[in-house]
Structure 1
Amino acid sequence: MSLTLEWSNEQEQMQLPEQLIGHLEQILQLAGKAEGIETGEVSLTFVDNETIHELNRQYRGIDKPTDVLSFAIQEDGEGEIDIMFEEDDNLDDMQDLLGDIIISVPKAKEQSEEYGHSLERELGFLFLHGFLHLIGYDHEDEASEKVMNDKQEAILLQVGLTR
């Protein structure tokens, strides 16, 4: 198995850029290679602000919409994963799942206009940012934020999604 992207568009407010999924698949492959991750599946869902607002409130206790949320499967403690699934679920199928990334398309559009770049670039950035969170990166301090930013900019430059 290689790195794969499974995606769905659950928002109807905006049309996604035509070549977006190809760019996201390219981002996933480049980021995986850079991080030494050869196999796994990333699930990506595009949603509206209302949906991401509810998820942000439910899982993070923050009562407002955000741009991207990441839910890493590997973050679960030993034994906790069993609680999430029914007895007849095949946990072997879940071992390749790296996690879920959820992106608010309206929030991405707003940010792309604010930063003066394309919606496709913003969605690529948010996807990559979410992926880095899935594999353990964070930006709790200035040093770790710089590491993430440098990795993101290098991959986006390779894909041609520049500011």
Structure 2
Amino acid sequence: MFTPYTNEIEGFTMNHQILFESDVTISDTLEAHINTVITATLTAQGLTLPCEVSVLITDDATIHEINLEQREIDRPTDVLSFPMFELEAGELPDAEDADPGSGLIPLGDMVISLERTTEQAAEFGHSVEREISYLTVHSVLHLLGYDHMDEGAEKALMRQREEAVLTTLGIVR
């Protein structure tokens, strides 16, 4: 089932559409929280044009299958991001990238394993909400061109942006 959201944060309406699909049980509260985190991340990055993000909340078996099919990596992971555009970190899509039918810029898809999120939260000693917030920010930044493949400047920039968004949301370690 897809749940679309139109977002409002601090009185500023962002006409982003976030499409949720879940093949595991997720509370309405956690789904709404993910929506808030996505919107906050887009806002923090300065993206004011209306965008669309698809979110699948799943389990380890499904994310493993997707990881194998899409990336040829034969193991589950916590989050996968499939950006629609090849952006550089900090670069934003523009109005020309919008779908003519919807007027929305399709940023891409994120897949989060709730099973892995729960395990990692316990391992790191914090809440599932904190872990899923981190993974959501991380994924949105990937959709916007951020990467961490090197251990240098790119990774440091991505980590700095992640922490800035989480701090803005009051989600700290």
- Is there any run of 5+ residues in structure 1 with no aligned partner, and where? 76-89
Structure 2 partner of 1:30? 40
1:120 to 115, 121, 129: 129
Query: Which of 41, 45, 62 is 2:52 aligned to?
Result: 41
Instruction: Provide the residue aligned with 2:167 in structure 1.
Output: 157
Higher strand fraction (1 or 2): 2
Q: Provide TM-score, normalisation by structure 2.
A: 0.76
Aligned-partner SS, 1:2: strand
Q: Which amino acid aligns with 1:106?
A: E
* CA distance 1:46–1:94, shift in 2 (3 Å): farther
Task: Choose which of 19, 29, 37 in structure 2 pairs with 1:6.
Answer: 19
Q: Render the CA deviation track for 1:117-142: whole Å, top value 9, x for unaligned.
A: 10011111111111100010000122
Following TM superposition, the consecutive aligned residue runs of length 4 or more in structure 1 with deviations greater than 6 angstroms are none
CA contact (8 A) 1:108 1:122 kept: yes
Q: CA deviation at 1:160?
A: 2.2
SS in 2 for 1:97: strand
Q: Distance in 1 between matches of 2:47 and 2:106?
A: 12
**1:57-109 deviations in Å (ceiling 9; x for gaps):** 1111100000000111124xxxxxxxxxxxxxx86448621111000001011
What residue number does 1:134 align with?
143
Query: In 1, are the aligned partners of 2:16 and 2:104 still within 8 Å (CA)?
Result: no
Q: How many residues of Structure 1 are paired with residues of Structure 2 in the alignment?
A: 147
Q: What does residue range 74-85 of structure 1 map to in structure 2 within 5 Å?
A: 74-75=85-86
Cα distance change on mapping 1:147 and 1:129 into 2, 3 Å: same
Q: Which residue of 2 aligns with 1:107?
A: 116
> Normalized against structure 1, the TM-score is what?
0.81
**Same amino acid, percent of matched pairs:** 38
Aligned to 2:29: 19
1:23-62 residue CA offsets vs partner (Å, 9 max, x unmatched): 3222222221222211201111100100000000111110
Q: Which has the higher contact order (CA 8 A, sep 6+)?
A: 1
CA distance in 1, matches of 2:82, 2:70: 10
